[in-house]
Structure 1
């Protein structure tokens, strides 16, 4: 399978629309197409307990699923009030809401509050009409060049062993989607010249999945994904730790495995941005369409401010706070 077309500019890699299909058992004929919205890194930079205020204006009921790519708030699990606020927006215990935890979701917080709010563990698998989703907790991985800390080793090994066992069983699905926060398979994100692209906010190479110094997530997991792809299952990996260096990317490896990333970041104070924020292009969100009858999965990056403005009347726009109007105007 040839690489999907890419548009590269200012560290922004954009695949407007990619359709994928494969040979797999057809689902029941009454299943209709479904749309999911993926939100990566959506926190509001100016307050610790809110998402980007533009997102609060969207009607998430129009989607059949909300996929959260982590760092939902700057201090997500610091208080029950923050999780109650998120529950009102996303219905956290709904089977249609998937959440790949980010580091900010645990910063100064309590994992037990997240577990209680979602009613599910920090990593799990979800099946929906031929679409199998694996949600990872990349906070258990090590993303730094120096050796991994020897802590939480049992929990780290448990997730990695679980992941390998799940991947060994993927056969009946038409599509497999890996949802995760931190960037994975970063060694494979290269241009035609073979240069490594700087796309995710954190780019560990290698990513160590547990306490082993020699551990290598790409080397150990990618061959399992190749085997799944060889069985006729389309494989898509989606990262949510995006927005500071690139605004999104979509690429396909020579093996036909799709690597996507999406995140927003422009709620920060642009007059005094941190040095590590390099990209101020408009924010976009990732919208995914799954057609179970075909079966087919497609995706597109949608300009966030345009999406919001198209959903509001002129009267509603005029009633918005000055800050939100400024965000919608500048971005």
Structure 2
């Protein structure tokens, strides 16, 4: 292999604030430790947690890079001791605990996944974080079964567009909420059975109508706030509400009687603080259950836009506009 440079360009958070605080810096190329690999980054996905971290609301976990970026694709250029799953030169995509906005990034060997021929490198960079979030929350925590109905809030987001495809591929019905006609059309094109514009319709009533009064079996919610009580209304008997973010705020006044009457489960999770063993187990399940669908071309990330690494601030502006449909990616 060619000799690695000592230095690399990264995009760092100079101080908590708006998109303009994302600035290019020169740093040392990191060295992989035990069970780690070093990836020359081709693409890095942009996610809401990056925006939260930039604004000062989502500090990286202990030991993680202070750079934003939770998912990458690229080429393996160095192996740490004990790393045996991947070899030098392999094209991989991986969840990372931080550090993705850079020319080189450390990943856990067990969390990296071989990039299939059906994905371009930018598409691969848009896949791991979203795929793991959807797999774990909709299928492992939410237990979505074939024939059941999944309600996705934020259907046109990176997570929403992946959830639509996976739920349909596994034989479930999908209802989404979106904020515009363009987003509604994009979701239906991906396979959603029904798209509800929450600005012009009451999603609770629409979900009841679409399910002949039964309600949604699983609800994937990134809004929180006043959606929490409305989710309890829209949920079916024995429904599962899975919380993955609180764009509408983490506090609400809720009548919890519905939880008992309908025997609901309300759960939630975040990916970043989970142990490496937990993440490796999710990756193994995804490699067995989901990667065949990606290899066949039946599931792939819906791409909104790509920006060069040094324009990360523009990528964040795009995300914060909420006009995007699908994934925003930095190319390196």
TM-score, scaled to structure 1? 0.29
Q: In proportion to residue count, which structure has more strand?
A: 2
TM-score if structure 2 supplies the norm length? Answer: 0.29
